[in-house]
């Protein structure tokens, strides 16, 4: 049986634990636990703080949740960020702000939640807060994904960069493929591993990226993936566009 990611909680299913391991490379506890928590948010809790945040999530109270993200209690901040990640387009502007939080562990949560929010927005019509206009699809996927890509490029914490590139993969952010490709050569092996997973999720292809290889091996692998993407990009975009149209077509 494959062992779970280092630091992954005991309650995580074996299947979920295995998804946190790539070619034998284990995620840090911070990213593993955050990713697992995003997957189970909203499942109910006897903890009063969690229950209060969950009530705000059910009410889609984005503004109240945004206030909770700056709580002095890290646990409350994390719960609020995870909750925002389930609300789609209307929560993205608030998650952009949380990506600038001074606490790295909160930025990790924000990066994962951000990618999840974009994916939710793509899968369903955008909802808008009272008095606001719902953002268009292009804005959700092209413009609003940029802060997450910036975190991949420039955040000082490797945990945050790893979470951010995971978010780009989850959102299938084809507009930021060059950012993902650069992450294949990040100084930190965890970031490189997550970038490899993001490439596979978006392209459907498995590549040898030499996560633990020499800089020259990694550079050559990244260059090869870039060349393949140049050949595949049009058909990949057409494939996902077709899937999106199919989702919106009523069944006869």
Per-residue tokens: 173: 């952010």
Domain enclosing residue 196, as ranges: 14-246
7 in a structural domain = no
CA distance 30 to 143: 28
51 in a structural domain = yes
SS3 114: helix
Please state the rounded mean pLDDT for residues 200-217: 95
Distance from the Cα of residue 244 to its chain's centroid: 20
Asked if 105 and 37 count as a contact pair (C-beta separation under 8 A), the reply is: no
Percent of the chain at pLDDT exceeding 90: 62
Number of domains in the chain: 1
Lowest mean pLDDT among 79-88, 154-163, 236-245: 236-245
Element containing residue 65 per DSSP (H, E): helix 62-68
pLDDT at residue 143 tops 60: yes
Asked if 90 and 128 count as a contact pair (C-beta separation under 8 A), the reply is: yes
Q: What is the CATH number of the domain that holds 120?
A: 1.25.10.10
Please state the rounded mean pLDDT for residues 217-235: 96
Tell me what pLDDT residue 106 has: 96
Lowest mean pLDDT among 15-24, 97-106, 146-155, 215-224: 15-24
pLDDT at residue 133 tops 70: no
Q: Please spell the DSSP secondary structure of 188-240, one letter per residue.
A: SHHHHHHHHHHHHHHHS------TTS-HHHHHHHHHHHHHHHHHHHHHHHHHH
Tell me what pLDDT residue 230 has: 96
Please state the rounded mean pLDDT for residues 92-116: 95
Q: Which residue has the tokens 């590139």?
A: 165
Contacts of 77 (CB under 8 A, 6+ apart): 68, 69, 70, 71, 101, 103, 106, 109
List Cα–Cα distances, 5 to 11, 42, 182, 205, in angstroms. Answer: 13, 23, 25, 23
Q: How confident is the model at residue 159 (pLDDT cuts 50, 70, 90)?
A: very high
Please state the rounded mean pLDDT for residues 134-155: 77
Q: Which residue has the tokens 């493929």?
A: 177
Give the pairing of strands 21-22 and 25-26: antiparallel
Cα-Cα end-to-end distance for the chain: 44
5 in a structural domain = no
Contacts of 210 (CB under 8 A, 6+ apart): 217, 218, 221
Tell me what pLDDT residue 242 has: 82
Tell me what pLDDT residue 195 has: 98
Tell me what pLDDT residue 78 has: 96
H helices within 86-156, ranges in order? 92-98, 104-123, 137-138, 146-154
Element containing residue 22 per DSSP (H, E): strand 21-22
Asked if 50 and 79 count as a contact pair (C-beta separation under 8 A), the reply is: yes
Asked if 74 and 106 count as a contact pair (C-beta separation under 8 A), the reply is: yes
Element containing residue 26 per DSSP (H, E): strand 25-26
Asked if 214 and 185 count as a contact pair (C-beta separation under 8 A), the reply is: no
4 in a structural domain = no
**Alpha-carbon Rg for the chain in angstroms:** 18
């Amino acid at each position: 049986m494959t062992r779970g990611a280092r630091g992954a909680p005991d309650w995580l299913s074996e299947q979920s634990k295995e998804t946190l391991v790539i070619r034998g490379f284990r995620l840090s506890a911070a990213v593993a636990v955050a990713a697992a928590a995003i997957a189970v948010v909203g499942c109910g809790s006897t903890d009063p703080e969690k229950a209060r945040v969950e009530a705000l999530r059910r009410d889609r109270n984005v503004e109240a949740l945004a206030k909770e993200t700056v709580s002095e209690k890290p646990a409350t901040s994390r719960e609020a960020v995870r909750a925002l990640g389930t609300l789609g387009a209307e929560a993205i502007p608030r998650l952009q702000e949380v990506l600038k939080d001074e606490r790295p562990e909160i930025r990790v949560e924000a990066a994962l939640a951000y990618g999840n929010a974009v994916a939710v927005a793509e899968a369903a019509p955008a909802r808008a807060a009272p008095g606001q206009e719902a953002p268009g699809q292009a804005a959700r996927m092209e413009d609003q994904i940029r802060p997450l890509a910036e975190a991949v490029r420039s955040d000082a914490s490797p945990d945050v960069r790893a979470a951010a590139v995971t978010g780009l993969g989850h959102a299938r952010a084809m507009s930021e493929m060059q950012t993902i490709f650069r992450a294949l050569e990040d100084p930190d092996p965890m970031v490189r591993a997550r970038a490899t997973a993001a490439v596979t999720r978006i392209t459907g292809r498995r590549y040898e990226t030499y996560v633990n290889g020499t800089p020259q091996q990694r550079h050559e692998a990244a260059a090869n993936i870039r060349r393949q993407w140049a050949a595949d990009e049009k058909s990949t975009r057409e494939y996902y566009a077709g899937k999106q149209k199919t989702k919106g077509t009523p069944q006869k």
